[in-house]
Amino acid sequence: MPVATEEDRAERLVEALPFAAFTVDWGRRVRVFNAAAGALFGVDPRRAPGRALIEVVPSVELERIVQAALAGEVCSRDVELGSGARARYVGVTAQPYEAGAITIAADRTAYRAAERMRSDFIGNVSHELRTPLSAMKLMLETVLVSDDDAEARTLFLPQIGAEVERMIRLVEDLLELARSESGTVTLRRDRFDLGDVAASMVNTFAQRADAAGVELELEAPDEVEVDADRGRLAQVVINLLDNALRHTPAGGSVVVTVLAEGRDAVLSVRDTGVGIPFADLPRVFERFYVVDRSRSREHTGTGLGLAIAKHVVEAHSGTLLAESVYGAGATFTMRIPAAAEAEH
């Protein structure tokens, strides 16, 4: 019976590893390509041994990393596979061993996306706070150097108050979003007609709609009972109506519809506003995402309302979807389980 060499034992170990790993010889030909590596790189691990690494995984960057390991270096960095929206990032560490080089790898796509979101989030919060703070500082300085100028106070103090209110709303929305994303929100459920909540919110926004020259209507012909958190769902409707009215020009309309479909209670908010480009639709529920950045400062929203609404709806085991034809308005549809019929 042949005695296993150190190289044989190393290769058997690599094959048994639960994470992606492979080895190459001094000629950069694959010796071992374990099952986890096959799953990660999307190749058949049985066909990899004996082939050049570049044939198995067509990545020049990966080839360079392994070449550095063959030259005696320990090399570790991310490798991009694919391109565009389908790009994936694989963290790779390669180092030399007796028969060539051994490489371990892990999918870091989700990590990179989370890091990008974190960075964007910090940047957005900083921007949203810095802009009103800078404006307030300038206005206060103007008031202070104007001695007892009543005109300056009358002009700037209301603006300072408005900016303070805006920052308060932003901080409150950030706290609400943090609670929603952490799953710590407790739903205070009771049984009620979803149409009543919609009617109350439509009445609340009626004066704003009139002032903007937008027709606001409610279509809720039948009672649609839900077992849900009334306050949280009212918050969802507020965010949807606020979003619709901010993006609907004078002469347009916003229609709120409540109906039952099978076992679901459905509430939709349809507007005749500017609509959402197709490429932006998947991202409208992201924090601070702005469809038209050139107009973002015209609107007073915090950029968090739709993100909060989606989390609230999902906490009710429901869905919140956006549909739009650019230039022809948008429809946001909330669908949650309807209350079970009362037993008699």
Spatial distance between the Cα atoms of 178 and 184, rounded to a whole number of angstroms: 9
**Amino acid 115: pLDDT:** 78
- Listed by start position, the domains of the chain span 6-107, 112-182, 189-337
Is the CATH number 3.40.50.150 carried by domain 189-337?
A: no
CATH (residue range 112-182)? 1.10.287.130
pLDDT at 311: 86
- pLDDT given at position 1: 43
> What are the distances in angstroms from CA 126 to CA 129, 171, 287?
5, 12, 14
Backbone angles phi, psi at 112, to 5 degrees: -65, -40
Kindly give the parts of the chain with pLDDT less than 50: 1-3, 293-298, 342-344
pLDDT at 321: 94
Residue 59 DSSP symbol: -
β-strand partners of 102: 23, 95
Parallel, antiparallel or unpaired: strands 253-261 and 264-271: antiparallel
pLDDT for 285 equals 84
**Length of the chain (residues):** 344
Q: Which of 283, 188, 204 is nearest to 239 (CA)?
A: 204
| Euclidean distance between CA atoms 298 and 302, whole angstroms | 12
Helix/strand/coil for 275: coil
Report the topology of domain 6-107.
Beta-Lactamase (3.30.450)
Per-residue pLDDT, 264: 94
Q: CB of 20 within 8 A of CB of 34?
A: yes
Element of type H or E holding 235? helix 230-246
Which pLDDT score, from 0 to 100, does residue 173 have? 67
pTM tops 0.75 = no
Give the separation between CA 121 and CA 338, rounded to whole angstroms.
Answer: 35
**DSSP-derived pairing of the beta strands 189-193 and 225-229:** antiparallel
Strands 225-229 and 253-261: unpaired
